[in-house]
A and B are shown apart, each in its own frame.
Chain A
Amino acid sequence: MSFEINGQSFDASPRPGQCLRTFLRQLGWFGVKKGCDAGDCGACTVHVDGRPVHSCIYPAFRAQGRAVTTIEGLAKDGELTPVQQSFVDAQGFQCGFCTAGAVMTVSCLTPAQLADLPGALKGNLCRCTAYRAIEDAVRGVTHAEAPAAGEAAGRNVAAPASRRIVTGSEPFTFDLEMEGVLHMKLARSPHAHARIVAIDASDALQVAGVRLVLTHEDAPTTRSSTGLHELDADDPPDTRLLDDVVRFVGQRVAAVVADSEAAAEEGCRRLKIDYQILPAVFDADAASAPEAPILHDHPEASGSRAPKSNILAEVRGRIGDADAGFAEADAVVEGVFHSHRIQHAHLETHGSLAWLDAEGRLNVRTSSQVPFLARRRLAFVLGLPAEDIRVVCARVGGGFGGKQEMLTEDVTALAALKLGRPVKLEFSREEQFVGATTRHPMRVRAKLGATADGRLTAIEMEVLSNTGAYGNHGPGVFFHGCNESVALYRCANKRIDGRVVYTNVVPAGAFRGYGLSQTNFAIESAMDELALKLRISPYEFRRINAIRPGDAMVAFDDHPHDVEYGSYGLDQCLDLAEAAMARDREAPTDLSDEWLVGEGMAVGMLDTIPPRGHYANAEARLTADGGYEISIGTAEFGNGSTTVHAQLAAAALNTTPDRINIVQSDTDRAGYDTGAFGSTGTVVAGKAAHLAAIALKEAMLAAARGLAGPGENAFELVGDGMRIGDAFLSLPAFAAAVGPLSGAGATNGSPRSVAFNVQAFRVSVHRATGAIRILRSVHAADAGTVINPMQCRGQVEGGVAQAIGAALYEHVDVADDGSVTTRAFRSYHIPSFADAPRTEVLFAETSDALGPLGAKSMSESPFNPVAAALANAVRAATGVRFDTLLLAADRIYDRLPKDIASAP
């Protein structure tokens, strides 16, 4: 058959059931991405005879005789189309994984469609941006600027990968050809709890093309965790690469490696697995009971706190005397708040590619936020020295915490070692839901007491966290959740109790906010209720009670810690949000009296860096040809850290960011780095990059002095070279004269600072249908010096939108048998263009004593106060306190005041 793709003719025959997406990728057009493989997300959009289609559901054979255009075919002779250029100018992307599909779609819109973007773009999902940046790209708004040498910090510098992203040439994890690559598929458990009696792989091995079947009999007996941290001990060692006991529906049971995905799939279907069913428990309360079936019954390996218990971790924190505090209170509120299971839904699924290089050394290319931690964990699991393993990340298509986890690398590496061939495993979207991780569902009881003048006298919180079948991130999320949510408030008496419990459900893991979104929902809802009771404005109530510099930051213990007030901008954030909400409060609306209107707000605090060490080692180099290079271990997954690193280095080297080449996320080419999690891309890795660049500048000035000899005192490093007295040496000439130079920068993540966020909403709630409309969204953030306002705004908007999804639309559902039933984007609704309101983002003017050039982190934290702010706004509108997320119309409508007279 003959196919015309991007003007070239290809003589190839797709397999009968093949879709156009995989066929195009097979022919090398890697700009065509897989987000969902089900027609929902639009990342694979291509044009067939000029019409945009989702290539993942387009039968490949039907493209025969038609003209197919992929993202690679848009730009002619290297010249970007206007739409591509607009996406660069507006920076209409973050991770960039959905961008090719967005560009291909926008390129086809008619004037009528341009006038209705919520409708026109409903087939394009973006998890990073909240769509504001995409709308700006469609409308031709330019944000990116090109600051002069030395002036990059604080400016809207475009991501270095911009051009590659809009042309589809930026390689993500799977966007490369590898000779002889084999494909892996995983067989997953249909049972929530079972012992594997036997696996008969003989039929599977008969399938043509099947090369290997891995089962628990092939797996190392060592246990570790899929969760990855600086300290291994943060996660319980409860997980085997392949286990002989399965503890949730969807747990991997066996891996089949074959010449094709089709053969590997068939191999999985032909496995005969004999299970002995064990009793299972799904509810965290039931799992805590003494008679509950035990998930991990060998405490030395399981991480269970006590033998014969499902309790993974507990806290019992006492500061002051809470009972006395409540006795002293004039008003007390108490509520039980539920936060549910949600999925990260990064558009690039999990996956990895493992191979042995010419020296026989294991290489793993993976979609991970933590390449160095993955290498260390691989070394442990496989029994190899870490230096015998190289882990590399290409640009990662979104993470949100989900990729601080080793879900594929161990099994592809084991297969590659056994076969001596490259082995690839790429999760399907369905596997993201059934076999990856979720946010920890939590039940949080919060009780607050205050005096009549609004001073908190006691805070009590009781947390029940459901970690699922494995304890990855279970303790960390739990303790973190119990910390900043309560440490935010100055109160002499605090009592925090809680536990994390194993259940036979898909494991929870790291998720943006890391436990705080759940506890914040409880505390900030209760704060709102208490403010109402005391008739004090919610802003004022926070002003009275929130910590200020000098106050101790304590939650469940008063042990010494390394968190400082490197800066403080909560006061500004409260003022900014309050003023912004007041600005248009009286503006007329077209709402009928069936709509109830109200405002709500909530506050969040986040330590700028995770505790107990977070390391980065950067090297800044002047290369032999006069270029600048920064090598840094951290990964780029849409957080924009690469742009920030280039800006910080350019600021230190008095040059422009386009002269800085960033070499990143490769364990062979950069110093140790704990990784891109805990909002550390700027404050840890960025600081290391900045220090390295400063050291390089010193080295260059020293070399200049050596070059000039005594008597010369005027040295200046400028954008494109070195001035020595009246002489000017271009960077290449200087490098040629002095040879390559380098400077090192290292950070250890301590001490840490605090960042603040205030979210406010005005909503209308339809008293009959329960529909919630967001009329106004304001977010004030204390990010210290904002290195890249455009990017930081994008992070905030994206965090707010993701949290709106979590509060209004998204829920991972688990059936009575423990299986996840929401397995595709059409049943797990992440915000589309139509769902994401525009959020006004306001920054406090602070400068942090600890972060690079005064910057603080701002990645996770915008997510945290959103759910409570929404619930508080709904409370104000309706008089009803909703303590259980989701705030979906069908779940709330029957509790709303029905007649106008009964409205608050």
Chain B
Amino acid sequence: MDINTITEIVTGLDEASLAGWREGDAFLGGGTWLYSEPQPSLRRLFDLDAFGWTPLELTPDALVVAATCKIQELYDFVPPADWRSGGLIRQCCDALLGSFKIWNMASVGGNMCLALPAGPMTSLAAALDATCVIRMREGGERRMAAAEFVTGDRRNALAPGDLLRAIELPVADLRARSAFRQASLTARGRSAALLIGLLDDAGRFALTVTASTKRPVRLAFDAAPDAAGLKDRIDAAIPDALYHDDIHGRPDWRKMLTCRLAEEIRTELAG
């Protein structure tokens, strides 16, 4: 919808532009969320496309995904043959409520910054123990674990004016084995629970719970736990109040799903 309060689109951005950030400004990624709700407090949009960031860059250690990378561009990335978890990329894209038409516009970073519990790019990044690269308003860069980036329903670790620059997906984790489970109240609907398990060649196991919780919960184990061990860790790490409650699923149901899907993942990877 029209955002009628916008008076200026700031294009031609550079490093210095962030310093000029003020109340009423917002970063424009794909626009798929910004333009989907009334935004009466906004006055200026910073057009991130103006940076011209390379959407995807494969380094020896990481797949570096620019925050402005379209979900379609990520989806189209062909993972090297030895990435046993390369399929997670498409599974997470498919988990987006929006259709492939939204993928043509929505950005990976935008999905994470929106910080919905069900944001599948957050699921992907958190599960792969990715690193978020953040450009700070006052200058300079900081890095943080992607699993820590979303801090609650519609809350993230960015300070006003901070900008998510990139997400680095570690190649090592993409080479590990993984299992993916997603559940929703409706077919192809918004995720009520999205869990990803990772098992590396050293036998280390990690379970990442998203969508069912207000923020990602990544549980790392030195070795794959047994059923009771996994359940105990989940219960200890996720108090009832951390389960998300909205129209996409009641928290008690999400808790049940979480435990159930976690056990399915454990069984699949243990087998």
Real binding pair: yes
Taking Cβ atoms with an 8 Å cutoff, the residues of A that contact B are: 15-19, 22, 37-40, 42, 45, 48, 51-54, 56-59, 61-62, 105, 113, 118-124, 260-262, 265-266, 269, 428, 430, 768-770, 809, 811, 813, 822, 824, 826-827, 829, 832, 834-835, 888-891, 893-894
Q: Are A17 and B101 in contact (CB under 8 A)?
A: no
Of chain A, the residue at the smallest CB distance from B32 is A57
- Min CB distance B233 to A, Å, is 21
Q: Does B253 lie at the interface of the complex (its beta carbon under 8 Å from any beta carbon of A)?
A: yes
Within 8 A of A (CB), among B44-96: 45, 47, 49, 94
A829 to B8, CA, bound (A): 34
Instruction: Choose from A17, A37, A890 the contact partner of B6 (Cβ within 8 Å).
Output: A17
- Contact residues in B for A16 (Cβ distance below 8 Å): 6-9, 45
Taking Cβ atoms with an 8 Å cutoff, the residues of B that contact A are: 1-9, 28, 31-38, 40, 42, 45, 47, 49, 94, 97-102, 104-105, 183, 185-190, 192, 246-247, 249-250, 252-254, 256-257, 260
Q: Are B45 and A829 in contact (CB under 8 A)?
A: no
- Contact residues in A for B34 (Cβ distance below 8 Å): 57
Instruction: Choose from A39, A121, A122 the contact partner of B32 (Cβ within 8 Å).
Output: A39
Q: Are B1 and A37 in contact (CB under 8 A)?
A: yes
Q: Are A38 and B185 in contact (CB under 8 A)?
A: no
Given contacts A58-B31, A122-B99, A123-B100, contact A889 B185 (CB under 8 A): yes
Q: Are A17 and B4 in contact (CB under 8 A)?
A: yes
Instruction: Choose from A57, A118, A822 the contact partner of B188 (Cβ within 8 Å).
Output: A118
Of chain A, the residue at the smallest CB distance from B38 is A430
Q: Are A17 and B2 in contact (CB under 8 A)?
A: yes
Q: Are A17 and B187 in contact (CB under 8 A)?
A: no
- Min CB distance B69 to A, Å, is 15
- Contact residues in B for A265 (Cβ distance below 8 Å): 4
Residue among B31, B36, B250 facing the most chain A CB atoms (10 A cut-off): B36
Given contacts A827-B247, A890-B249, contact A42 B101 (CB under 8 A): yes
Q: Are B185 and A890 in contact (CB under 8 A)?
A: yes
Q: Are A59 and B186 in contact (CB under 8 A)?
A: no
A266 to B40, CA, bound (A): 9
- Contact residues in B for A430 (Cβ distance below 8 Å): 38
Q: Are A59 and B31 in contact (CB under 8 A)?
A: yes
Q: Are B185 and A888 in contact (CB under 8 A)?
A: yes
Given contacts A19-B2, A39-B32, A39-B35, contact A769 B99 (CB under 8 A): no
A136 to B31, CA, bound (A): 33
Chain B facing A: main interface SS? loop
- Contact residues in A for B32 (Cβ distance below 8 Å): 39, 54, 57
- Min CB distance B267 to A, Å, is 14
Instruction: Choose from A48, A59, A890 the contact partner of B28 (Cβ within 8 Å).
Output: A59
Q: Are B1 and A19 in contact (CB under 8 A)?
A: yes
Instruction: Choose from A38, A53, A829, A893 the contact partner of B37 (Cβ within 8 Å).
Output: A38
- Contact residues in A for B188 (Cβ distance below 8 Å): 118-119, 122, 832, 834
A290 to B187, CA, bound (A): 46
Of chain B, the residue at the smallest CB distance from A888 is B185
Instruction: Choose from B7, B102, B183 the contact partner of A769 (Cβ within 8 Å).
Output: B183
Given contacts A768-B256, A835-B187, A890-B192, contact A17 B3 (CB under 8 A): yes
Of chain A, the residue at the smallest CB distance from B37 is A38
Q: Are A770 and B2 in contact (CB under 8 A)?
A: no
- Contact residues in B for A38 (Cβ distance below 8 Å): 1, 36-37
- Contact residues in B for A62 (Cβ distance below 8 Å): 31, 47, 49
The 3 A-B residue pairs with the shortest CB-CB distance in the complex, in nearest-first order: A123-B99, A17-B6, A17-B3
Q: Are B31 and A57 in contact (CB under 8 A)?
A: yes
Instruction: Choose from B100, B104, B246 the contact partner of A120 (Cβ within 8 Å).
Output: B100
Instruction: Choose from B4, B35, B98 the contact partner of A266 (Cβ within 8 Å).
Output: B4
Of chain A, the residue at the smallest CB distance from B252 is A894
- Contact residues in B for A889 (Cβ distance below 8 Å): 185, 249, 253
Q: Are A105 and B249 in contact (CB under 8 A)?
A: no
A430 to B38, CA, bound (A): 10
Q: Are B4 and A890 in contact (CB under 8 A)?
A: no
- Contact residues in A for B192 (Cβ distance below 8 Å): 890
A832 to B102, CA, bound (A): 16
A53 to B100, CA, bound (A): 9
Given contacts A59-B31, A769-B183, A822-B247, contact A54 B102 (CB under 8 A): yes
A39 to B183, CA, bound (A): 23
Q: Are A261 and B2 in contact (CB under 8 A)?
A: yes
Q: Are A835 and B35 in contact (CB under 8 A)?
A: no
A48 to B189, CA, bound (A): 26
- Min CB distance B44 to A, Å, is 8
Given contacts A17-B6, A809-B186, 4 further A-B contacts (CB under 8 A): A15-B2, A53-B101, A61-B47, A768-B256
Q: Are A52 and B35 in contact (CB under 8 A)?
A: no
- Min CB distance B183 to A, Å, is 7
Given contacts A53-B105, A769-B183, contact A813 B247 (CB under 8 A): yes
- Contact residues in A for B104 (Cβ distance below 8 Å): 48, 51-53
- Min CB distance B125 to A, Å, is 22
- Contact residues in B for A894 (Cβ distance below 8 Å): 252-253, 256
- Contact residues in A for B2 (Cβ distance below 8 Å): 15, 17-19, 22, 261-262
Instruction: Choose from B9, B35, B190, B254 the contact partner of A57 (Cβ within 8 Å).
Output: B35
Q: Are A118 and B187 in contact (CB under 8 A)?
A: yes
A113 to B100, CA, bound (A): 10
A270 to B1, CA, bound (A): 21
- Min CB distance B87 to A, Å, is 15
- Contact residues in B for A822 (Cβ distance below 8 Å): 247
Q: Are B250 and A890 in contact (CB under 8 A)?
A: yes
Of chain B, the residue at the smallest CB distance from A826 is B97
- Min CB distance A226 to B, Å, is 25
Instruction: Choose from A15, A58, A105 the contact partner of B105 (Cβ within 8 Å).
Output: A58
A257 to B260, CA, bound (A): 55
- Contact residues in B for A105 (Cβ distance below 8 Å): 99, 101
A776 to B38, CA, bound (A): 41
A-B contact pairs, 13 of them (CB 8 A): A17-B3, A53-B104, A56-B35, A57-B31, A57-B35, A122-B97, A122-B99, A123-B99, A123-B100, A123-B102, A262-B4, A809-B186, A890-B249
- Contact residues in A for B5 (Cβ distance below 8 Å): 17, 262, 266
Residue among A19, A121, A260, A768 facing the most chain B CB atoms (10 A cut-off): A19
- Contact residues in A for B253 (Cβ distance below 8 Å): 770, 889-890, 893-894
- Contact residues in B for A835 (Cβ distance below 8 Å): 186-187
A83 to B5, CA, bound (A): 39
Q: Are A39 and B98 in contact (CB under 8 A)?
A: yes
- Contact residues in B for A17 (Cβ distance below 8 Å): 2-7, 9, 42, 45
Of chain B, the residue at the smallest CB distance from A20 is B35
Q: Are B247 and A56 in contact (CB under 8 A)?
A: no
Of chain A, the residue at the smallest CB distance from B35 is A57
Of chain B, the residue at the smallest CB distance from A891 is B250
A184 to B73, CA, bound (A): 41
Of chain A, the residue at the smallest CB distance from B39 is A17
A769 to B257, CA, bound (A): 7
A834 to B1, CA, bound (A): 26
- Min CB distance A411 to B, Å, is 21
- Min CB distance A454 to B, Å, is 38
Of chain A, the residue at the smallest CB distance from B253 is A890
A260 to B2, CA, bound (A): 12
Of chain A, the residue at the smallest CB distance from B254 is A890
Q: Are A39 and B256 in contact (CB under 8 A)?
A: no
Q: Are A834 and B186 in contact (CB under 8 A)?
A: yes
- Min CB distance B116 to A, Å, is 10
A834 to B5, CA, bound (A): 37
- Contact residues in A for B102 (Cβ distance below 8 Å): 39, 54, 123
Q: Are B101 and A54 in contact (CB under 8 A)?
A: yes
Residue among A262, A265, A269, A769 facing the most chain B CB atoms (10 A cut-off): A769
- Min CB distance A810 to B, Å, is 10
- Contact residues in B for A829 (Cβ distance below 8 Å): 185-186, 189, 247
A888 to B192, CA, bound (A): 13
Q: Are B94 and A119 in contact (CB under 8 A)?
A: yes
A359 to B253, CA, bound (A): 64
A835 to B186, CA, bound (A): 7
- Contact residues in B for A811 (Cβ distance below 8 Å): 247
Given contacts A52-B104, A829-B186, contact A59 B35 (CB under 8 A): yes
